[in-house]
Amino acid sequence: MQYISTRGQAEPIGFSDTVMTGLADDGGLFLPSEIPDLKPRFEELAALSYPDLAFEIIRLYVDLADDVLRELVNRSYAAFDAPDVVPIRRLNGITMLELFHGPTLAFKDIALQFLGNLFEVLLQARGGRLNILTATSGDTGSAAIAGTRGREFMNAIVLYPHGRVTPVQELQMTTVLDENVHNLAIEGDFDDCQTIVKALFRDPDFKQSYSLGAMNSINWARVLAQIVYYVYAALKVMRDRKVDEISFSVPSGNFGNVFAGYVAWRMGLPIRQLILATNENDILSRFFNLGDYSRGEVVPSMSPSMDIQVASNFERYLYYRVGEDPARLRGLMEAFGRSGLISCDDLPPRPAGDPFCAGSADRDSTIGTIKQFYERFGYVLDPHSAVGVYVGMQKSVPQSPLICLATAHPAKFEDAVVAALGKCPARHDRIEALQGKPTRRTVLPADENRVRAYIAEHLHSTSKR
């Protein structure tokens, strides 16, 4: 399997090089040159455990030996609390897919435990070091740190928006005092963090000199690992409910999670609806509903991991939307860089069967959904999952069973739960253990040059080639 850049000006490369490169040198995002068809294997795959299914899906895209991949997958998912990794919970007409049973209690662990182990395997084979540069709106940072802390040949540099993540999210990052972890609190919003990271990756000399790698969802391996749980949940629920199709509702900010579902659909998974749910930062839902993808100011919300106005992975969807035409895609992204706008008038019509629909939930809707679910089922939703449930209930069709992705443990977002319920019935030992621990972080302005200087000062002695 070869990997190509969405912008078409980088040479195709193999999977391992794609993982180590992160962002293509032409500024594009990597995609596989072909998408395998899973339809003939549904019955076989439906009977597999989660790790076994992960092995079968991932091996279609990688250049690793089977025994290496099998050990990597098993080691990655042994870190999860749930024996089935992603439990499926049926609540009347809605099914919850719980993706928060990993080390940092968020869905990011599913990909980043795998990616941390994958980086280690590749570095052991190739030699050298890797400095993993990550922008986070809250959960990716702690999951990236959990996947890299203490590893001999890796450093983690995490940029997060100062004052715009929850106290628990910040503690999960800043209480990790390993020497290879660097937390940078950026005086701005997530889009500022993401802009800095992308700028550094687009500088080939800096990227090579400091051996930069990516754990954000710009790295294809992130998306690849997330495809697995769509296939797992869909095949299990369809078999149990004796139906031929399924729908998903996905809380989305950076479009990586829901894009994994889109790839699963392109692999033949019978997804009737892929419901994209946003909070007040509704650039993605405006695109699908109004044809308007226009950058605005980030609005702080009670679901901070979705407080994003420029979704990195949307470029991957646009590549398919323009008929896999990199020149046309380049034009769109260059125009967006100048004007902050992409209009559906500049795109071909949506192809037949495209599963996307979208909606948004404001603060009152989010609080109301948390309260309703607790009163009806005794089930506590975190605010991101509540956004997905609210929009899913608004948009789903009765003919297709709905699976809502539960993306984080509610104990990570105590303030939102208390706002809805007047208390927080959700607790977790890992979160309680963070209280009172020493922390370390560096506060920097939203200035690319200041981040460059930090990297040069703290990493030059070990990471220059």
User: Does residue 315 carry a pLDDT above 50?
Assistant: yes
Angle at 31 between CA 29 and CA 34, to 5 degrees: 165
pLDDT tens by residue, 330-385: 999 999 999 999 988 889 999 889 999 999 999 999 999 999 999 999 999 999 99
Does any domain span residue 110?
Answer: no
Helix (H, G, I), strand (E, B), or coil: what is residue 93? coil
Output the 3-class SS for 311-345: CCCHHHHHHHHCCCCHHHHHHHHHHHHHHCEEEHH
Q: Select which of 108, 198, 207, 412 is catalytic.
A: 108
359 and 299 share one domain: yes
Q: Give phi and psi for 342, each to the nearest 5.
A: -130, 130
pLDDT tens by residue, 31-51: 999 999 999 999 999 999 999
Q: Report how many domains make up the chain.
A: 2
Angle at 297 between CA 292 and CA 301, to 5 degrees: 105
Whole-structure pTM value = 0.93
CA distances from 29 to 36, 40, 162, 213 (A): 19, 29, 27, 13
The DSSP bridge pattern shows strands 130-135 and 154-161 to be parallel
191 and 324 share one domain: no
190 and 278 share one domain: no
CB 252 within 8 A of CB 317: no
199 and 328 share one domain: no
98 and 190 share one domain: no
Q: Which amino acid is at 35?
A: I
**Across 271-288, average pLDDT:** 96
- Clarify whether 108 is annotated catalytic: yes
250 and 354 share one domain: yes
388 and 262 share one domain: yes
350 and 379 share one domain: yes
Here the tokens at position 412 are 């990570």
271 and 233 share one domain: yes
Of the pLDDT bands very low, low, confident and very high (cuts 50, 70, 90), residue 128 is confident
179 and 271 share one domain: no
Residue spans of beta strands (DSSP E) within 260-390: 271-278, 292-294, 341-343, 356-360
Domain containing 212: what range? 128-216+435-465
Q: What is the pLDDT of residue 462?
A: 43
Integer Cα distance of 113 and 147 in angstroms: 5
Helix (H, G, I), strand (E, B), or coil: what is residue 441? coil
